Amino acid sequence: MTETILEVRDLRTSFFTENFEVKAVDGVNFSVPKGKTLGVVGESGSGKSITSLSILRLIQNPGKVVGGEVLFKGTNLLEKSEAEMRKIRGNEISMIFQEPMTSLNPVYTVGQQIGEAFQIHEKLNKKQSIERSIEMLKLVGIPSPEQRVHQYPHELSGGMRQRVMIAMALACNPELLIADEPTTALDVTIQAQILELMKDLQSRLGMSIIMITHDLGVVAETCDYVAVMYCGKVVEYATVDELFRNPRHPYTVGLLNSLPRHDIDLEEEELTVIKGSVPSPADMPIGCRFAPRCPHASDICVERLPGLEEDENGNQIRCWIYSEEWDGNPEVNVYEKRTTES
């Protein structure tokens, strides 16, 4: 049985205003096996980034983690003190943030920013931390690291800045790396290089990765497992092979259908889209969050929220279609419908 390094149980994070509570993450469950990559996918606003920030206890007011457990190597991070969390962040668990230009401090050199982790967690002096920073720049494939280590972020290209972010995240050999849209701002060629770099470093260092993205191509290329999120909830969890071969939730099917295909002439046939839009966090549906946009929704979908059911293979699905209580069309098979229409 594969060892699990991180297990998230019923994680709930809310943002509070004077009038109401916005449930940004609402009962999220998933696990990350040791040495493997979990992809977390979904539209903007689905709760992917808030989930990652909740794991590291980086939610700021008016947000708050209001419930659940985040078990890292069996220990609940939500019960640790802030001082204990500071020892874990950047050391045992690291994070690559979305925009390297806004995440890097413009008034400090690259070497100073990478070296900070060595000074805090390994108590190295400035000279030693610069030497280790040069080693990290070599590791992530930046040319002339002895020169680059003394440069500022604005003097580097977008791809180099992203590699610096990876170097910072890997400085102390973390056991878990959280990558939040690590290739969003990069062109396709650089994106491929960064993803290949992360896969190579993972195989060499044996770390686990949570890859947060809206790009299913990235998921197919880099991940072992996938958690599909919608409106703060996981609606499907499966291995990458199973998800792409046999997607079960209507939302997952919609995401896959919306991918461009090489065998379709776009001048003759338009891309498939998921009709409607994500509901407002202040006005969530009573039943299934996806019901207003789902082509298969029935009365039970509108009236009651489905639970997250697990099959014998460990795959999870949050949908009434696969429940004994399903009151809709008994012949509906989401996957078959997708293949006949696409």
- Which helix (H) or strand (E) element contains residue 210? strand 208-213
Within 10 angstroms of residue 165's Cβ, the number of other Cβ atoms is 27
- Which helix (H) or strand (E) element contains residue 208? strand 208-213
- The torsion defined by the Cα of 163, 168, 169 and 172, in degrees rounded to 10, comes to 130
pLDDT for residue 242 is more than 90: yes
pLDDT tens-digit series, residues 273-286: 888 888 887 788 99
pLDDT tens-digit series, residues 114-143: 999 888 888 889 999 999 999 989 888 889
Q: Which residue has the higher pLDDT, 30 or 200?
A: 30
Structure confidence at residue 340 (pLDDT)? 46
Structure confidence at residue 293 (pLDDT)? 93
150-154-157 Cα angle (round to 5): 95
Structure confidence at residue 266 (pLDDT)? 53
pLDDT for residue 234 is more than 90: yes
Structure confidence at residue 20 (pLDDT)? 83
Query: pLDDT > 70: what percent of the chain?
Result: 92
14 phi and psi angles, rounded to 5 deg? -125, 155
For residues 163 and 142, the answer to whether their CB atoms sit within 8 Å is yes
In the Cβ-directed half-sphere of 1, how many Cα atoms lie within 13 Å? 5
For residues 168 and 156, the answer to whether their CB atoms sit within 8 Å is no
126 phi and psi angles, rounded to 5 deg? -65, -45
